[in-house]
Each structure stands twice: as structure tokens, then as C-alpha cells.
Amino acid sequence: MQRTVFFISDGTGITAETLGHSLLTQFEGVEFKQVRIPFVDNEEKARAAVRQIEQAAERDGERAIVFNTVVNPELCSLLATSRGLVLDLFAAFLAPLEAELNTKRTPKVGRAHGMSGEKNYDARIHAMNYALAHDDGVAPEYDEADVVLVGVSRSGKTPTCLYLALHYGVSAGNYPLTEEDLEKMRLPDSLRPWRGKLFGLSIDPERLHQIRQARRPNSRYADIRQCRREVAEAEALFEKEGVRWLSTTHTSIEEIASKMLQLLGIERHFY
Amino acid sequence: MQRTVFFISDGTGITAETLGHSLLTQFEGVEFKQVRIPFVDNEEKARAAVRQIEQAAERDGERAIVFNTVVNPELCSLLATSRGLVLDLFAAFLAPLEAELNTKRTPKVGRAHGMSGEKNYDARIHAMNYALAHDDGVAPEYDEADVVLVGVSRSGKTPTCLYLALHYGVSAGNYPLTEEDLEKMRLPDSLRPWRGKLFGLSIDPERLHQIRQARRPNSRYADIRQCRREVAEAEALFEKEGVRWLSTTHTSIEEIASKMLQLLGIERHFY
């Protein structure tokens, strides 16, 4: 069974997609064709969206499911004229919030992800530049860092640092554990001043082997025995030095970032 | 007036934060202290969350607002015992979806952002490595790119490329327009084979001056006349060459990415 799902928004569509997708993951065995229609901020675009919803219904033989976060009531009414199950993700909660806050909302479109404020932009770019400048141990000086990720090569440090920067504005450096560090079974002296900021990432050796193999096929670097040894040593090192750590193998970047911020008590720098 | 807001989830909390924050932006004049409580997946953690909600109410003299995406009904009942306005962001939509899909949901916690599937992970990391390897015109060969961002230095190309990679799995290269390109008022020959993938970014000269000034104070690079000239020439070049473009000045990275994907008809590569 295939069902078409629309995410309709007057802004980026990120809120509609995020909640809508979360809801869909609760239903197994249905194949969803997902279509994003962002920036629906006038009648013409709303009518075009209605046409797309009608066409999907004709094609699928079933009405489409529509996750809607458009704020303007007239445009919502227009969307409601379509043959679709239109779920209005904002409307359900605005009334109780108005009652609770004892204030009327100020409807403005596309606010949710309009992080165009200079302060927010600067915080985010600053964190991104920090991550790029302190990637892979190139500048092991972490005074300004909120967190420093430590782990063997290809354990997921760089994507996590960049995600922390772009999503939370958090400045993260990262340092790859070298064979020398692992043989000595101690943190390098250069990392000691920032011990409280360290966070370890580990990974299943088989998965590490697979990732490294794609990068440098049949190298010593990718050899499964090498991967097993490095991972075992890195985890022993984290335990010995009291560095909190997580395995990235069955954990998405979102989950790693969220868990790490919680464990280290770091607040996001912007919304 | 300050009100404490909790985002409570059995996973990362991203869905609760995203919709919750979108709703809050509709209310002006209220200061919200926002607290994320992710990974609430057992009774003990739910009771700890209830205690935090109680403490906030005592501190603020007003009950807290709680955006909840916990899936487990028993844990939700526990959270509902707190003195807080508990808005259950999933519950409202699961019943109509069950009816529409004629199937019961399969409640599993923390699914929404559990993108730990190897295929998703690989797509994302591939796109991120692509962006890093093709940043700033270092490898102007864009066969594999989904899109190539073009613009003057500091117009926002790199953060947009990395966001496209991490959020959408889209492979984006970027090429900085040089003074030579601008003087000749034509795209460099090296870019011509990928003309259909080009997308221009521009920026207000005053804002560009401010950003460059922070980077290289009082340089020719940061000079306001230089910024004005480069921006005017870049925009003229986009128009002349038929390259679609956007200004990043009052547009967040989320908005730029969403608009660009819509304009170029590029689909996200994972959820």
C-alpha cells in the first residue's frame, strides 16, 4: 500500500516534516511517498497545493495525508477544501497556549526557522568555523571549545562536530587518538588542560572496518584486526582516564549530539 | 513574565523542540526559559521530569508548559500527574492516522531521529565528505554534485553546503567567484559543464563588510567599496548567465536550503 504524504508550510517546512515524519515512523508496513511544499504564503500557492493533493488522490486511489503548519487561517481553509486528510499541526495547540498565556498569538508566517538574526547567524558560523579549524586535531588548543570529541579515525567525530555547530551553535573540536596515544594508554599531554571537555566516541570494529575499507581498501588501516585493536584500546583508555563516551554504531548523529549535551550539561546557543 | 517550557521526549527531543519552538514564536512579549529533557524512556526518568516540572512551577509562581512526545502511554500518564500544561504532540494525531491508515500504530520509542541505518548514515557522511572536499573551489569538478553554490567570499556558501549534507544528504560543492571572474563578467570555463547545477548566493554589501571586517579588519578585502563592487558584479553575473540566486542577508540557512531544493527540484536523500 502506498500513500502520498504532503508537508505543507508557509516557511521551510521543517516543522511539518519533523513532526509528520515522527508520526509516520509509528506506522509500519505502509509505504509513504513524501512531498514537501514549503513557502505556501499566498492564495495562488495554496491553490496549487490543493491541485497537487487532488492529483495524488487520483493517482493513489486513496486520499493523501497532509501535515499542515500554515498559520494564515484563510489559506488553511483553502487547504481544507482538498480531498485529503489535513492534519493542522499548529491549530490543536494554539488555543490551549493562548488560554494558558492569557494572550493572543501574533500570527506571522515562516517564523519557526527564520533564524536570520545576526546574533544567531554569527553564533552558528562561529561554531562552524571553530569545528573546521579544530577538526582532526589540526589545532589542539581548545580554550574556546564547549566540547572536544576524542576517538579513533572514522569513529564519527567530524560529522558530530559539524552537526553540533549548525544545529546547536556549540563549538566542538576533535582529536583523533593516535597509535602512540593508544600504546601509551594515556591521554596525550596536550589534551590534559581540557580534560573536563573531553567526550569519547567509539564504534563497533566490524563497522569501522567497513567504513575504512571503503576509504582505503585492503590497507593496514582498514584491516579488521587493526580496527579491533584500536577500538579495544580506545575504550580502555576512556575508562582508565574517566572520559565519558558513547558508541556511534547504532546511534544517529542526532542521538549522539543530544545525549552528549545532556551528559555534559551544555545548553544550546540558539533556537 | 517568564514561563518555563519543557521539551520532553523518549528520544532526542528534536521533534518536541521543533514543534514546541514553532508554537512559542507565535507568542510575543513572553520570555520562555526552555529546558530539554530527552531520553525519558523509563519510570524513574519520568518521575525525575515530573519533579523538575514541579520545581519550575514553585520557582516561577506559574505552572510550566510541557511539550511532550513520549510514546509510552504509562509514562505519559505519569507526566500528566505533574502540575504543568502538558501538551501531548503525538496523541492528537495518532487516532486520525490510525483510522485513515486502517492500522494500529506500533509504538516504539525514540524512532524519529534514530537515523542509525547504515544506508542513511553512509548517505549523510558521503554528502558531508563531498562538501568538505569540494569547499571553496578546491576541487572544481562537480560530476557527482547535486548542486554547486557560487558567490563571493563570505556569502554563506560553506555553512549552506554542510547543512544540505547533514540535513538532507544532498551533495553540494561550492565555488568562490574571483576578481578575475567578476572582471570578465562571465562564469569561468571550468564551471560551464555543470551550469545546470549552479546556484548563486548573494548578500547585502554592508553585512558582507561587517563579516569580512571581523575576519580581516581594515583589509582591502573587508573595505565597504570592495564589498559593494563585488556584490554588484556577482549579482550582474548571475543575471547575465541565467544562474538562479538568493540573498542570504535576511534568510536563515534553513530557508536558503529549503528554497534552493524547491527551486532546483532536488529531493532529500533521507529522513
d(CA B246, CA A228): 48
Q: Which of B22, B27, B106 has the CB atom closest to A69's CB atom?
A: B22
- Inter-chain touch B118–A28, beta carbons under 8 Å: no
Classify residue B110: in a domain, yes or no.
no
Query: What was the pLDDT predicted at B115?
Result: 47
Q: Phi, psi at residue B112, to the nearest 5°?
A: -55, -45
d(CA A147, CA A143): 10
Asked if B2 has any chain A CB less than 8 Å from its own CB, the reply is: no
One domain for residues B90 and B123: no
- Inter-chain touch A252–B114, beta carbons under 8 Å: yes
What residues make up the domain containing B190? 118-264
Average pLDDT for residues B130-157, to the nearest whole number? Answer: 94
- Inter-chain touch A18–B100, beta carbons under 8 Å: no
- Inter-chain touch A128–B26, beta carbons under 8 Å: no
Asked if ipTM goes beyond 0.90, one says no
| Number of domains observed in the structure of chain A | 2
One domain for residues B125 and B252: yes
**CA dist list (Å): B152 to A258, B100, B206:** 34, 50, 14
Own/partner long-range contacts of B55-58 (Cβ < 8 Å, ≥24 apart): B56/B4, B56/B6, B56/B84, B57/B4, B57/B83, B57/B84
pLDDT in tens, B16-67: 999 999 999 889 888 899 999 999 999 999 999 999 999 999 999 999 999 9
One domain for residues B63 and B154: no
Classify residue A75: in a domain, yes or no.
yes
Amino acid making up residue A253 = I
One domain for residues A137 and A222: yes
Asked if B269 has any chain A CB less than 8 Å from its own CB, the reply is: no
- Inter-chain touch B89–A19, beta carbons under 8 Å: yes
d(CA B248, CA B257): 10
* Interface test mutation site (partner A, options B7, B26, B66, B108, max chain A beta carbons within 10 A): B26
pLDDT in tens, A204-242: 999 999 999 999 999 999 999 999 999 999 999 999 999
Per the listing, cell 493523501 goes with A64
d(CA B4, CA B49): 13
One domain for residues B73 and B197: no
d(CA A64, CA B112): 21
Classify residue A111: in a domain, yes or no.
no
- Inter-chain touch A106–B26, beta carbons under 8 Å: yes
One domain for residues A20 and A95: yes
Query: What was the pLDDT predicted at A110?
Result: 62
The domain boundary residue, chosen from A75, A101, A127: A101
Asked if B232 has any chain A CB less than 8 Å from its own CB, the reply is: no
Name the pTM for this structure. Answer: 0.89
Kindly report the nearest CA distance between residue B245 and chain A, in angstroms: 17
Kindly report the nearest CA distance between residue A184 and chain B, in angstroms: 31
One domain for residues B88 and B143: no
One domain for residues A144 and A258: yes
Classify residue A163: in a domain, yes or no.
yes
Q: Which residues contact B224 (CB under 8 A, 6 or more apart)?
A: B205, B206, B209
Side-by-side strand order, sheet with A31-37: A31-37, A2-8, A64-68, A84-88
One domain for residues A96 and A122: no
pLDDT in tens, B70-104: 999 999 999 999 999 999 999 889 999 999 999 88
The domain boundary residue, chosen from A51, A69, A101: A101
Query: What was the pLDDT predicted at A120?
Result: 79
- Inter-chain touch A87–B94, beta carbons under 8 Å: no
- Inter-chain touch A114–B252, beta carbons under 8 Å: yes
Q: B78: closest CA among B48, B109, B119, B112?
A: B48
Query: What was the pLDDT predicted at A115?
Result: 47
| 3 state SS for chain A | CEEEEEEECCCCCHHHHHHHHHHHCCCCCCEEEEEEECCCCCHHHHHHHHHHHHHHHHHHCCCEEEEECCCCHHHHHHHHCCCEEEEECCHHHHHHHHHHHCCCCCCCCCCCCCCCCHHHHHHHHHHHHHHHHCHHHCCCCCCCCCEEEEECCCCCHHHHHHHHHHHHCCCEEEEECCHHHHHHCCCCHHHHHHHHHEEEEECCHHHHHHHHHHHCCCCCCCCHHHHHHHHHHHHHHHHHHCCCEEECCCCCHHHHHHHHHHHHCCCCCCC
pLDDT in tens, A26-81: 898 888 999 999 999 999 999 999 999 999 999 999 999 999 999 999 999 999 99
* Interface test mutation site (partner B, options A1, A113, A207, A211, max chain B beta carbons within 10 A): A113
One domain for residues B15 and B93: yes
Side-by-side strand order, sheet with A198-202: A172-176, A147-151, A198-202, A245-247
Q: Contact at 8 Å (CB) between A261 and A168?
A: yes
Q: Which chain B residues are Cβ-neighbours of A251 within 8 angstroms?
A: 116
Q: Is the pLDDT of residue A269 over 80?
A: no
Classify residue B74: in a domain, yes or no.
yes
Amino acid making up residue B205 = P
CATH code at position A219: 3.40.50
Kindly report the nearest CA distance between residue A187 and chain B, in angstroms: 27
Kindly report the nearest CA distance between residue A171 and chain B, in angstroms: 14
* Interface test mutation site (partner B, options A93, A108, A269, max chain B beta carbons within 10 A): A93
- Inter-chain touch A14–B258, beta carbons under 8 Å: yes
DSSP conformation class of B8: E
One domain for residues A172 and A233: yes
What is the pLDDT confidence band of residue B110, given thresholds at 50, 70 and 90? low
Classify residue A109: in a domain, yes or no.
no
Nearest CA in chain A to B93: A87
- Please, what's the largest Cα pairwise distance for chain B? 69
One domain for residues A30 and A72: yes
The domain boundary residue, chosen from B74, B101, B128: B101
Q: Which residues 24-53 of chain B have a CB within 8 Å of chain A?
A: 25-30, 34, 36, 38-39
3-class secondary-structure state, position B7: strand
Q: Which residues 134-163 of chain A have a CB within 8 Å of chain B?
A: 158-159, 162-163
Degrees to nearest 5, angle at CA A262 with A260 and A268: 90
Classify residue A198: in a domain, yes or no.
yes
Classify residue B144: in a domain, yes or no.
yes
pLDDT in tens, B175-197: 999 989 999 999 999 899 999 99
First-last CA distance in chain B: 38
